Structure 1
């Protein structure tokens, strides 16, 4: 377990899940909007140095999202998923898949990566905590090992950007 800047990360050996808890010095409504409004998502989606040039959100149960994450070298990585559960201001559950530029689900090998299932599941919860917002992300299906470490870094760098975007 690693603690850094009000962040706790847990990745149990052999378990295909990553859990990240982060406390933001912002109201829950603002952290919620950062996950649900395209203009806000574009400000933080992707690790340090990455941008989000395209973000489409049909934010309802059964609705779809379709995001582009652009690397500093200009390579685009597309992702898509379906919102499975939305409990306003409390929880968002959605699938997570790699996609091509048209929104079709593709295997990770499309981007030169191995070992990912076609679909992963993400749950994000939001709680009031000591006047701040405690957000917990659970990413289920992540392959163990180096990919978990890279995913952990990517999410945490994204959350650093999220934090900056809501100050």
Structure 2
């Protein structure tokens, strides 16, 4: 995958790397910060190991539900997590995204955590479509601004959560 099809976002958190890594590894933590602002998240399953799955449901205030999943490919504590993210059904199978545009069914994500001065952590997330059609790649690239806003909100929630734990 070329870098022109990769979405990249970086954020520095006022928390040590081990803590930032930990809140990606346990269901009770993920329920508190993962996902878009305003949605409630419940974890159906979290098997934090290569080949394991994080399966979750997000609910809007008006009751709309969307399932999602990660399948972990690589875990190198505490600096790297690689997973494929997809929309899913209640059983954990991959489903089509809940929007009209042809969005890729699978997105490869690499989260890298780097120690900064004064106990801070720089998180870099790199995302790219997997097994996508040219049209899906085009739509993915056109979605960078929306993804920047969405991950920005998710990472705002992560920052607030890290300040509490």
Note whether the superposition's TM-score is higher than 0.5.
Answer: yes
1:45–1:51 contact (8 Å) kept in structure 2: no
- Cα root mean square deviation, aligned: 1.5
Determine whether 1:130 maps to 2:126: no
Query: Which residue pairs with 2:133 in the alignment?
Result: none
Query: Which residue pairs with 1:66 in the alignment?
Result: 55
Deviations 1:100-157 (A, max 9, x none): 122110111xx13422122110000011111211111111126121x22222211110
With the length of structure 2 as denominator, give the TM-score of the two structures: 0.85
Determine whether 1:121 maps to 2:121: no
2:159 to 152, 156, 163: 163
Query: Which residue pairs with 1:140 in the alignment?
Result: 128
How far has the Cα of 1:55 moved from its partner? 4.5
Whole-Å separation in 2 of the counterparts to 1:55 and 1:124: 22
List structure 1 runs of 4+ shifted beyond 3 angstroms. Answer: none
Give the structure with the larger helix fraction: 2
With the length of structure 1 as denominator, give the TM-score of the two structures: 0.84
Query: Which residue pairs with 2:35 in the alignment?
Result: 46
Whole-Å separation in 2 of the counterparts to 1:16 and 1:53: 31
Whole-Å separation in 1 of the counterparts to 2:149 and 2:107: 17
Paired residues, what number?
A: 151
Determine whether 1:87 maps to 2:81: no
Query: Which secondary structure state, in structure 1, belongs to the residue aligned with residue 24 of structure 2?
Result: helix
Query: Which secondary structure state, in structure 1, belongs to the residue aligned with residue 68 of structure 2?
Result: strand
Whole-Å separation in 1 of the counterparts to 2:152 and 2:52: 26
- Unmatched runs of 5 consecutive residues or more in structure 2: 130-136
How far has the Cα of 1:65 moved from its partner? 1.4
1:42–1:55 contact (8 Å) kept in structure 2: no
Whole-Å separation in 1 of the counterparts to 2:126 and 2:76: 16
